[in-house]
Amino acid sequence: MVTATTTAWAAAAGTPDPELPMLTLADLGILRDVHETAGVVIATITPTYSGCPAMREIAADLRDRLQRAGYRDVEIRTQLAPAWSSDWITDEGRRKLTRAGIAPPTGAPRRTGPVALTLGRPTPAACPRCGSGNTTLTAAFSSTACKSLHRCADCAEPFESIKAI
């Protein structure tokens, strides 16, 4: 039933991400599918990183949201392939990230052949506060697996950025 499925998607899509609560699972692009089969709502999610510790909370929150929206039988499935890409973050998600002081990711690297070694300086992330491109990477890893740490030379503020993968 089209209406019910749309509603189930809406209920699931509004679930906030536990580590980036300004974004919904749909904004982040980790909600891959929601559909109803024989009275069961099946929601499919994909991890951002293999070790993402939030997957369990995400599954529990998703189940909770759908049940509160009136769907009693809920099944949460994981999908690994294709692997999550930061390109899947929606435009709305990117605006929300910037408003929260986190630089959205640049385009994910594309390649043919072996993964190239990156020894030079990465493309600078634009400062989410003042918009300056005069920034430096201070650490390739940050408070969560999906972010890196930067500093803006113009407004002197540190900020995080979603890694492009």
Nearer to other proteins, 2 or 80 (CB): 80
CB of 124 to other proteins, least distance (A): 16
Residues 6+ apart with CB under 8 A from 138: 149, 150, 151, 158
Nearer to other proteins, 2 or 66 (CB): 66
Q: Write out the binding residues for other proteins, residues 83-142 only, by CB under 8 A.
A: 83-84, 114-115, 117-119, 138-142
4 binds other proteins (CB under 8 A): no
The type of residue at 24 is T
14 binds other proteins (CB under 8 A): no
36 binds other proteins (CB under 8 A): no
**Stretch in the footprint of other proteins (CB under 8 A) among 44-52, 99-107, 123-131, 151-159:** 44-52
Length reported for the chain: 165
Rounded to whole angstroms, the Cα distance separating 137 from 129 reads 16
Rounded to whole angstroms, the Cα distance separating 36 from 90 reads 24
Nearer to other proteins, 3 or 118 (CB): 118
Q: Which CA distances in Å does 156 have to 29, 51, 104, 127, 161?
A: 31, 32, 19, 10, 16
Q: Write out the binding residues for other proteins, residues 45-84 only, by CB under 8 A.
A: 47, 49-53, 55-57, 59-61, 63-65, 75-84
Q: Is 39 exposed, middle or buried (0-12, 13-18, 19+ CB in 10 A)?
A: exposed
Which phi and psi angles does 79 have, rounded to 5°? -130, 125
**Stretch in the footprint of other proteins (CB under 8 A) among 4-12, 89-97, 143-151, 152-160:** 143-151
For binding to other proteins (CB under 8 A), which residues are involved? 16, 21-22, 44, 47, 49-53, 55-57, 59-61, 63-65, 75-84, 114-115, 117-119, 138-143, 145, 149, 163, 165
